[in-house]
Amino acid sequence: MSVIKPLSVQLYSLRDASATDFPGVLKRVAAMGYKGVEPAGFYGLSAAEVAKMVRDLGMVVSSTHSPWAGPANAQEVIDAAGVLGTQLVIGGFGPDDFATEAAIQKTAEVAAGINGPLAKAGLTLLLHNHWWEFERLPDGRLKYDVFAQLCPEVRFELDTYWAANFGANRAAEMVTKFAPRCPLLHIKDGTFARDAALTAVGDGKNDIAGIVHAADPAVLQWLVVEADTYDGDMFECIGKSYTYLTRNKLAAGNQ
């Protein structure tokens, strides 16, 4: 990838600390050097209050999981995105929605329905995956391939750890496959052990450099660090991830 993209952080990673001191979390993330944040909850604050705090700290809202885009909340998503100053809004589906080919077909119809009013408002709906989308149907087809073909207008926030499906897939190959539709990549790392906590980016088995270089620089807008779980201080995990990505010139920060 010829262009180094800016680095954001999915604030779900820091949900425990955010529950007691969300402004303090934003300050610590800004001090690490992150250029952007991806909210996953406002912790009692309004979207406007969060947006102002983020701006005042020299960051932007890269994208948002709040409110989670669904079939019945289009106007809420549109309003929040306008206040937050982002056009990238996120939704997603559960394991039952990808259990069978018939389920995938229904899910694609739902996704298209969610996307319609958001696209008319100038927003880009991106779907965030977990591992179940990157399993295979009995005939060997990748479930996300089937889904992608059924809803060609929808874009993706590809979670590169879950796309590896605990080592069943090469994440960089999955990025290459879906790169034309990925304005966002979730960058996370781990051992690929199903029940193990995740690691800081660079400390696990995911091919981070390969993943980043597999993206389409004309499409990709942000790299977003996320760690669902971590054996230790989550701020340490997020800080180490920032350092790894910026020192290796895989992403751009403010430091």
The full set of domain ranges for the chain reads: 7-247
Whether the model clears a pTM of 0.85, i.e. scores above it, the answer is yes
**Per-residue pLDDT averaged across 75-90, rounded?**
98
| pLDDT for res 1 | 47
Residue 36 in 3-state DSSP?
Answer: strand
Residue 13, both tokens: 């990673």
Cis before 71 (ω within 30): no
Segment 3-27, tens digit of pLDDT: 899 999 999 999 999 999 999 999 9
Q: What is the CATH number of domain 7-247?
A: 3.20.20.150
Segment 149-198, tens digit of pLDDT: 999 999 999 999 999 999 999 999 999 999 999 999 999 999 999 999 99
Residues 6+ apart with CB under 8 A from 86: 60, 61, 62, 63, 64
Segments in 65-142 forming alpha helices (H): 74-84, 101-120
Instruction: Return d(Cα 205, Cα 226) in angstroms, integer.
Output: 15
Task: Identify whether the C-beta of residue 125 lies closer than 8 Å to the C-beta of residue 184.
Answer: no
| pLDDT for res 2 | 60
**Per-residue pLDDT averaged across 25-32, rounded?**
98
| pLDDT for res 255 | 84
Task: Please return the burial class of 254, using the count of CB atoms within 10 Å of its CB with bins 0-12, 13-18 and 19+.
Answer: middle
Segment 210-244, tens digit of pLDDT: 999 999 999 999 999 999 999 999 999 999 999 99
Task: Identify whether the C-beta of residue 51 lies closer than 8 Å to the C-beta of residue 146.
Answer: no
**Per-residue pLDDT averaged across 86-111, rounded?**
98
Residue 202, both tokens: 């660079």
Give the model's confidence band at 75: pLDDT under 50 very low, under 70 low, under 90 confident, else very high: very high
Average pLDDT of every residue of the chain? 97
